[in-house]
Amino acid sequence: MIKLGEMQELVIAKKVEFGVYLVSPDDVRGEDKILLPQKQVPEDAQSGDKIAVFVYRDSSDRKIATTKRPKIVMGEIAYLKVAEMSRIGAFMNWGLEKDLFLPFKEQVGDIKLNGEYLVGLYIDKSDRLCATMNLFKVLRTDSPYKVNDMVKGTVFSLKRGLGAMVAVDGKYLGLIHEGEILKPMRPGDEVELRVSNVKEDGKLDLSLKDAPRLQIDKDGEKVLSVLMKNKGQLKLNDESSPEAIYEALNMSKGSFKKAIGRLMKKGIIDITREGIRLAEKKSGYENKNQGPKSDYKNVDRNNKRTSRSNDSRNSGYKTSDNRNMNKDGERKSHSNFKNNEVRQSYNDKNKERNSTINKRK
């Protein structure tokens, strides 16, 4: 089947002087034929060859094929420039010989000559291709994306109480919920996003943030940074207004509550009626008033040493120092004994020598 407004591969069914007739590969009988003008036909084209073409209607309202790909096809959106204004609508340049018609009923806001506007493509009741600025009815909901996939999109509409409508990859419909938007956005903004949810109907919920756990950690680091700058205290808690939280931390109240909840569970902060403050000696974060962490360790070690020494004495066991002294004492005693033995032997030898000398005399 030949599809209007799409790029597709068709088969050359018949060659004529003014071009070739194309048919769909599954059209065995060749009942649905379309002309590809001679100037568009490749020089070495033969019957049975496949050619990639775009199908639209010419100025005579006849279906015709072209090998040119226009700036926009079905299921996509793009910025097109207004080439002509008329009483029934505007005509836009989309890269083909015949301009694309934008009816009044499909326009949003003021349209001006030479202005560029984000539009999609649709087929009207008369089976003609037209442009529309109402992108909800042209964006697709059959995206291949999964939760936590990173995507790029274009903001095309902002709705109070709902959020920002986004065209993902210029093809798929997505929404950034109002609570996720932390800075002003405008139609036409290009954004990098994370898919936070894929609905049953295929529409995408999008987030400007990282995965939730990573974002909570990032928000927690921001809270800690501000706490450090404010001497470990901040007059904000979960009862503070969203405006006050955003002014101090540039984050939503929901993100703030998740961040301080995580920090409190880790023992890094305390939450009071007056606000939040750094906890003492917790998780490596120290209050400046408590002194270096190493001092506490040294005090603990000294106390343990003293305690062990006292316990040893009380229990009757000798400490290593006493044992060493006793050993030294034993060694000294043993050394003295050997010295006396040598001295005695020396005296005995002297007596014997003297006796021998006397006898000779």
Which residue, 94, 91, 93, is CA-closest to 103?
91
Domain covering 212-288: architecture: Orthogonal Bundle (1.10)
One fold for 77-137 and 150-207: yes
DSSP H/E element including 103: strand 100-103
Helix axes 253-265, 212-229, angle to 10 degrees: 80
* Rounded Cα gap, residues 116 and 131, in angstroms: 13
- pLDDT score of 53 more than 70: yes
DSSP 275-343: -EEEPTTBTTB--GGG--HHHHHHHHHHHHHHHHHHHHHHHTPPPHHHHHHHHHHHHHHHHHHHHHHHH
Task: For residue 29, give every residue at least 6 positions away whose Cβ sits within 8 Å of its Cβ, in sequence order, or none.
Answer: none
The radius of gyration of the chain from alpha carbons, rounded to an integer in Å, stands at 45
DSSP H/E element including 59: none
The secondary structure of residue 218, as a DSSP letter, is: H
Torsion, Cα of 245, 248, 250, 255 (10° steps): -40
Q: Which amino acid is at 103?
A: P
* Rounded Cα gap, residues 293 and 231, in angstroms: 18
Over residues 161-185, the pLDDT tens digits come to 899 999 999 899 999 998 778 778 8
DSSP H/E element including 192: strand 190-198
Supply the mean pLDDT for the chain.
81
151-164 average pLDDT score:
91
Domain ranges within the chain, ordered by starting residue? 7-66, 77-137, 150-207, 212-288
Encoded tokens for 32: 């649905």
Sole residue written with tokens 């939730």: 212
- Of residues 358 and 261, more confidently modeled: 261
Decide yes or no: CATH 1.10.3720.10 for domain 150-207: no
Over residues 192-215, the pLDDT tens digits come to 999 999 999 999 999 886 556 666
Which residue, 152, 155, 171, is CA-closest to 163?
155
Domain covering 77-137: architecture: Beta Barrel (2.40)
The CA-atom distances, in angstroms, between 235 and each of 223, 240, 279, 350 are: 12, 9, 15, 98
- pLDDT confidence of residue 145: 94
Domain covering 7-66: architecture: Beta Barrel (2.40)
Instruction: Give residue 41's pLDDT band: very low, low, confident or very high (50, 70, 90).
Output: very high
- pLDDT confidence of residue 211: 54
Which residue, 133, 178, 285, is CA-closest to 223?
285
303-312 average pLDDT score:
44
Instruction: Give residue 312's pLDDT band: very low, low, confident or very high (50, 70, 90).
Output: very low
Which residue, 97, 102, 85, 181, is CA-closest to 138?
102
- pLDDT confidence of residue 310: 44
- pLDDT confidence of residue 20: 95
* Rounded Cα gap, residues 18 and 38, in angstroms: 5
Provide the percentage of residues in the chain whose pLDDT is more than 90: 47
Q: Write down the H helix ranges in 119-241.
A: 212-229
Collapsing DSSP to helix, strand or coil, 259 comes out as helix
Whether the Cβ atoms of residue 194 and residue 206 lie closer than 8 Å to each other: yes
86-108 average pLDDT score:
95
